[in-house]
Amino acid sequence: MPWASTNLRVRYSETDQMGVVYHANYLVWFEIGRTDFCRQLGFVYREIEKEDGLYIMVAEVRCRYKAPARYDDEILVRTCLRSVRNRVLVFGYEVYRQPSEELLAEGETVHVVTDREGRPRALPEKYRNLFSAGIQLSGR
């Protein structure tokens, strides 16, 4: 599973007066892709919070916009895992217009694993193994 794919349609509320998607909505789409990525690996993100008392907090975001998405566009968000370390995960993203497959944006998020109080913690082995398998499948 090198990439998880998520299909979305641009909603009117995600656009500005010009009908172009507001830039911050790409970060919401990244989150949707990240959640789907975890599901495709075999777990629901909520499990980490409920069962282990841990959170995967965003520490850094990068997004490069290539072309505007517009109201009612069909888009595809592709998500991969670029790096897994003891306390840090790095995800990569690509957003495409469908069916033309035009690249609209690409980005990356860096996450730190923390406890409920926000202190850095090690990612439990069961999740590290799942995430590592995701990287091995992607050939990284």
List pLDDT tens digits, range 12-28: 999 999 999 999 999 99
41: containing domain: 4-138
Asked if 44 and 51 touch (Cβ cutoff 8 Å), the reply is no
* 8 DSSP 8-state letter: E
Nearest to 73 by CA among 5, 8, 26, 27: 8
Number of structural domains found in the chain: 1
State the catalytic residues. 16
The pLDDT of residue 129: 87
Show the tokens assigned to 68.
Answer: 């505007």
What are the residues whose beta carbons fall under 8 Å from the beta carbon of 128, sequence distance 6 or more? 84, 86
Residue 123 CA to residue 127 CA, distance in Å, equals: 7
- What is the Cα–Cα distance from 107 to 55, expressed in whole angstroms? 21
Helix (H) and strand (E) counts for the chain?
3, 5
Which residue's entry shows tokens 């075999």? 42
Which residues are 62's β-sheet partners? 108
Model confidence pTM above 0.95 = no
CATH number at residue 67: 3.10.129.10
Per-residue pLDDT of 96-138, as tens digits, reads 999 999 999 999 999 999 999 999 999 999 899 888 876 755 5
By the 8 A CB rule, do 83 and 134 touch? no
Sheet containing 54-65, strands listed edge to edge, beginning at the edge strand earlier in sequence: 4-9, 74-84, 88-98, 102-115, 54-65
